[in-house]
Amino acid sequence: MKVAVLDRNGKDTGRKVDLSKDVFGIEPNNHAVYLDVKQYLANQRQGTHKAKEKSEITGSTRKLKKQKGTGTARAGSIKSGIFKGGGRFFGPRPRNYGFKLNKNLKRLARRSALSMKAQDKAIVVLEDFNMDTPKTKEFTVLLQSLGLENKKSLFVLGDSNNNVYLSSRNLQGTEVVNNSELSTYKIMNANSLVLFEGSLESIEENLSK
């Protein structure tokens, strides 16, 4: 699959790159994508929720009434969850929501996500460029040149480029990541995927294993 390489003004440079069929042209596996996205979202959860149970409530341990003969249910402690101010029954406890996925499945999920974007023609290849200083205005002009000012977009850098990252940080709906930070969730969450030319070799090398 050949894709034209654009410059920072959104114009065709006259060059084309060939996207690997093993990465951008497979039959997408929807379930693999689902599992990888689910794991990503699960890992974002803090899991610090906590409710006090009976043993953690401050209060008297005196038996409220005699065991038998009252005609009502037995009650041994004011800290019981059936009384106001008592502990909570089966309340939430701190936990880790993460779960394990095999590396091969995660690679399959990323290849599937990239293939979906390729099928939707939502991949743009941009020639590498540098910014002398962080300028949000320049990055906004870039988005307008590519027709992405009103769309969710994900820019994937080949090498770390701090000025490009800082220029995009204040823009809502736009995210800049290195190719090592690329995830299935971020690919699927973006309407358009903008790959810097230098990132293609690393992406294809990592996902072809």
pLDDT class for 13, splitting at 50, 70, 90? confident
Q: What are the chain's domains?
A: 2-45+101-207 (3.40.1370.10), 49-96 (no CATH)
List b or e across 150-166, with b for residues whose CB sees 16 or more CB atoms inside 10 angstroms.
eeebbbbbbeebeebbb
Please measure the distance between the N-terminal and C-terminal CA atoms of the chain and give it in whole angstroms.
Answer: 20
- Give the pLDDT confidence score for residue 103 in this predicted structure: 93
What confidence tens digit (pLDDT) does each residue in 190-203 have?
999 999 988 998 99
User: Letter for the amino acid at 5?
Assistant: V
Is pLDDT above 80 for 82?
Answer: yes
pLDDT class for 130, splitting at 50, 70, 90? confident
**Whole-model pTM?**
0.83
Is pLDDT above 80 for 56?
Answer: yes
State the Cα–Cα distance between residues 25 and 33, nearest whole angstrom.
15
State the Cα–Cα distance between residues 193 and 196, nearest whole angstrom.
10
